[in-house]
Amino acid sequence: MTFLTDFADQAVILPVVLAIGIALFAQGWRRGAAVWAGSILATFGVMMGLKLVLIPCGSAAFHTPSGHVAAATVVTGGLAAMLRRRRGIVMPVALLAAVLIGVSRLVLGLHSWPEVTLGALVGMAGARAMERAAGPPPPGIDARRLLIIALAVAVVFHGLHLPAEGHIGGTALRLARLLAVCQSDEVRL
């Protein structure tokens, strides 16, 4: 399960996001590149906000939403939106990514069902927004090239890890202390 969940680590996701954005722009789909970047940033921003609130204020069952699930869902669903030639493909692809990464996070004991579900919902909202805002890809977009780029970058960076969760958790707890909200004697990370 670690092998699977590692594909959704920020050390893999961020280079994939950057490579796809550059490839969309280089192929001349400026709108697609802008929507890709904006939807990904919005999804990651929502997850950051949720983590900053829920880490110090959540419960044991609902402590930190799964950023791995949200990232995998928005990136895979978003890639499907950028490559689609038929309607109706984006949400099933996003859901498949959410289920695969979500199950891996559950089996590894890293998240609860509510945390995985919230990550999936945020990621699916980002993928849906991307699909609607970008519209269908123009005829000149080479879908095969985009897919090969995404897979190659993911394979190259697979297994690397960014210690983002620890930094986010520490920031959330410092903010909670500074703002005197959701204070607990127990430090949860």
185 lies in a domain? Answer: no
The 3-state secondary structure of the chain, one letter per residue: CHHHHHHHCHHHHHHHHHHHHHHHHHCCCHHHHHHHHHHHHHHHHHHHHHHHHHHHHCCCCCCCCCHHHHHHHHHHHHHHHHHCCCCCCHHHHHHHHHHHHHHHHHHCCCCCHHHHHHHHHHHHHHHHHHHHHHCCCCCCCCHHHHHHHHHHHHHHHCCCCCCHHHHHHHHHHHHHHHHCCCCCCCCCC
Please give the residue range of the domain that contains residue 148.
2-179
The tens-digit pLDDT sequence of the chain (189 residues) is: 999 999 999 999 999 999 999 999 999 999 999 999 999 999 999 999 999 999 998 887 788 999 999 999 999 999 999 988 777 899 999 999 999 999 999 999 999 999 999 999 999 999 999 999 998 889 889 999 999 999 999 999 999 999 988 899 999 999 999 988 886 544 444
Residue 53 resides in a domain = yes
How many domains are contained in the chain?
1
In a domain, 109, yes or no: yes
pTM above threshold 0.75: yes
In a domain, 188, yes or no: no
Report yes or no on 184 lying in a domain: no
